[in-house]
């Protein structure tokens, strides 16, 4: 098929320290991609132009021109207004109320879907991965914070003007330590990679984690997911206890979610889970099953995600395709 007959879908993942753009065909085979750093210090306009450049480079890498692109999906950290294509708040970028959808539509001349990056990842797992064709799938992606998402009967669950499923901000231990605020402790304050790394650094400082102390010291930037996994494999039992407790708190939070939504699949994703998937699945599953009402114990599965770093970018592109098909479908009557 010649390039002028081909159609393509673009996904961009804006989470983390790097943005990744990928171009797919109608069957979601990868055609091209580009990756570049995300620098919040550049400001909104410079970051938007960097996004445009990265998408353009990915299209060039695919050997296509912009006219072949039928839709773009962009997964952004933080709450978004999916209907208007606005990022409501992205702390890592310093963004508030940024109309990224309109900017990209003006640059590429095609429909643009803006969604939360974890919503995008969960949608990818629903379409192509560990939660394929589930009626209701809830995803939890622990990282620097903790993101969540839900796909219900093929639709991303969201509010009227804002995305939802901010699982990392579910309150735990009301009345407990509140980190200097008047709010109760949130899930990401005890179960995010940053929280785990902080506790592990203290263990290394005390001499309770010798492998970690020798290979990463107490520097949080060195205590990444792979280092935590290596420390556990090397026999740092205190580090293992820290990670298991963090996973158990995720299970506590998901107990409430099971009672609310009765998902048939709970998918755990992100780099932290990828590095220690068996541990996280084991602990989350055990805690949820031991705390839900008896009638709910056999209605769900806890699984690890299958798509790794490609989840959000693939899900964003697939969501763009699904919305294009929905708007182009003939109406009854």
pLDDT digit of tens for each residue in the chain (333 aa)?
444 567 999 999 998 778 999 999 999 999 999 999 887 667 899 999 999 999 999 999 999 999 999 999 999 999 999 999 999 999 888 899 999 999 999 999 999 999 999 999 999 999 999 999 899 999 999 998 999 999 999 999 999 999 999 999 998 875 555 555 556 689 999 999 999 999 999 999 999 999 999 999 999 999 999 999 999 999 999 999 999 999 999 999 999 999 999 999 999 999 999 999 999 999 999 999 999 999 999 999 999 999 998 999 999 999 999 999 888 766 544
Q: What is the pTM (predicted TM-score) of this model?
A: 0.93
The dihedral built from the CA positions of residue 47, 50, 56 and 59, taken in this order, carries a sign that is negative
125 inside domain: no
Dump strand ranges (E) for the chain.
8-13, 18-24, 30-37, 69-76, 80-81, 86-90, 95-98, 112-116, 136-142, 146-152, 155-156, 265-268, 301-304
Q: 141 with 102, same domain? A: no
242 belongs to a structural domain: yes
Residues 100 and 180 in one domain: no
- Kindly state whether residues 299 and 187 are assigned to the same domain: yes
Q: How many domains does the structure of the chain reveal?
A: 2
70 shares a domain with 138: no
Domain assignment present for residue 122? The answer is no
- CATH code of the domain in which 29 resides: 3.30.420.40
Q: With respect to residue 57, please indicate whether it lies within any of the assigned structural domains.
A: yes
Structural domain containing residue 149: 130-306
Three-state SS for 151-171 is EECCEECECCCCECCCHHHCE
Same domain, 96 and 171: no
């Amino acid at each position: 098929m010649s390039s002028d007959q081909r159609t393509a879908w673009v996904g961009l993942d804006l989470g983390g320290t790097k943005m990744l753009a990928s171009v797919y065909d109608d069957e979601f085979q990868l055609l091209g991609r580009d990756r570049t750093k995300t620098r919040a210090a550049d400001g909104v306009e410079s970051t938007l132009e960097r996004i445009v450049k990265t998408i353009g480079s990915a299209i060039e890498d695919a050997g296509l021109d912009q006219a072949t692109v039928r839709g773009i999906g962009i997964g952004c950290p933080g709450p978004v207004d999916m209907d208007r294509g606005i990022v409501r708040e992205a702390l890592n970028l310093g963004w508030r109320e940024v109309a990224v959808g309109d900017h990209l539509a003006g640059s590429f001349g095609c429909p643009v879907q803006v969604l939360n990056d974890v919503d995008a990842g969960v949608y990818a797992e629903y379409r192509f991965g560990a939660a394929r064709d589930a009626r209701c799938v809830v995803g939890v992606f622990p990282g620097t914070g903790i993101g969540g998402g839900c796909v219900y009967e093929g639709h991303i669950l969201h509010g009227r003007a804002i995305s939802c499923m901010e699982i990392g901000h579910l309150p735990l231990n009301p009345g407990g330590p509140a980190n200097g605020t008047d709010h109760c402790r949130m899930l990401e304050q005890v179960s995010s990679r940053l929280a785990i790394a902080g506790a592990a650094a203290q263990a290394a400082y005390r001499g309770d984690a010798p492998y970690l102390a020798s290979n990463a010291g107490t520097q949080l930037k060195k205590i990444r997911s792979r280092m935590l996994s290596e420390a556990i494999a090397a026999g740092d039992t205190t580090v293992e206890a820290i990670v298991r407790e963090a996973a158990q708190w995720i299970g506590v939070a998901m107990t409430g979610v099971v009672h609310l939504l009765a998902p048939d699949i709970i998918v755990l994703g992100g780099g932290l889970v990828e590095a220690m998937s068996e541990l996280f699945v084991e602990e989350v599953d055990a805690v949820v099953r031991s705390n839900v009402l008896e009638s709910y114990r056999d209605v769900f599965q806890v699984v690890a995600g299958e798509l790794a770093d490609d989840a959000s970018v693939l899900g964003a592109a697939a969501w763009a395709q699904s919305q294009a098909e929905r708007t182009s479908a003939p109406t009854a009557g």
